[in-house]
Amino acid sequence: MFMNPPQTVRVWDPFVRVFHWSLVSCVMLNYFVVEDGETLHQWLGYIATALVAARIVWGFIGTRYARFADFFPTPQRLLRHLRQVASGQPDFHPGHNPVGALMMLALITLVLGLGLTGFLQTTDAFWGVEWMQELHEVLASTLIALAGLHALAAIVMSRVERINLVAAMVTGVKIRKRAQQST
């Protein structure tokens, strides 16, 4: 038995990694710890919104795999990916695969929606308006549900692709283990 040397790709730059774990912290704190809508909640919510705004800019000027051009899930890219997966062929993307990219876009859109509905609740026009509070709450619950699915998918895909995707979001490097072969 031997293990071939692993294949390594430097994929996530420091900005993407700091962005990701800071966003996770703000969202988790706002949902599970400081969900009273008061000052700290508002600060954390605006920080999350600003992080996403900065990530969108980085999506145009950032490093190769951080760019929307690298992973934007166009219908062609999605179809090709789904066909390949359905046929049992691995479809390895160093950056986000098209389905992961779709999830990324959903997550950042929900954070922007929370920033907006949160802000509107602090204005005279929407202060105390029940449907706006409910919309904010629904967006928050949807974000947490999708984030749970996203984390689960990252763990499952790590096994399928033999790459520790979560570690890659910490170190920036994707290391693909080759399958073990018998001599």
Binding flags for ligand HEM, 25-64, as an x/- string (CB under 6 A): -xxx-xx---x-x---xx--xx-xx-----x---------
**List of residues 6+ apart from 98 with CB closer than 8 A:** 71, 73, 74, 77, 78, 80, 81
Shortest distance, position 168 Cβ to ligand HEM, whole Å: 6
Q: Which is nearer to ligand HEM, 23 or 81 (CB)?
A: 23
Please report whether residue 151 would count as binding ligand HEM according to CB under 6 A.
Answer: yes
Q: Which is nearer to ligand HEM, 81 or 96 (CB)?
A: 96
Please report whether residue 72 would count as binding ligand HEM according to CB under 6 A.
Answer: no
Contact (CB, 8 A) for 178 and 153 = no
**List of residues 6+ apart from 87 with CB closer than 8 A:** none
Contact (CB, 8 A) for 102 and 73 = yes
Amino acid at 21: W
Say how many residues touch ligand HEM, by CB under 6 A. 44
Please report whether residue 150 would count as binding ligand HEM according to CB under 6 A.
Answer: yes
For the chain, first and last CA: distance in Å? 5
Please report whether residue 137 would count as binding ligand HEM according to CB under 6 A.
Answer: yes
Residue with tokens 């980085």: 58
Q: How far is CA 120 from CA 37, 52, 128, 129, in A?
A: 12, 18, 10, 10
Structure tokens at 121: 């609740």
Q: Which is nearer to ligand HEM, 130 or 182 (CB)?
A: 130
What residues make contact with ligand HEM under the rule CB under 6 A?
16, 19-20, 23-24, 26-28, 30-31, 35, 37, 41-42, 45-46, 48-49, 55, 96, 100, 104, 107-108, 111, 114-115, 118-119, 121-122, 133, 136-137, 140, 143, 147, 150-151, 154-155, 165-166, 169
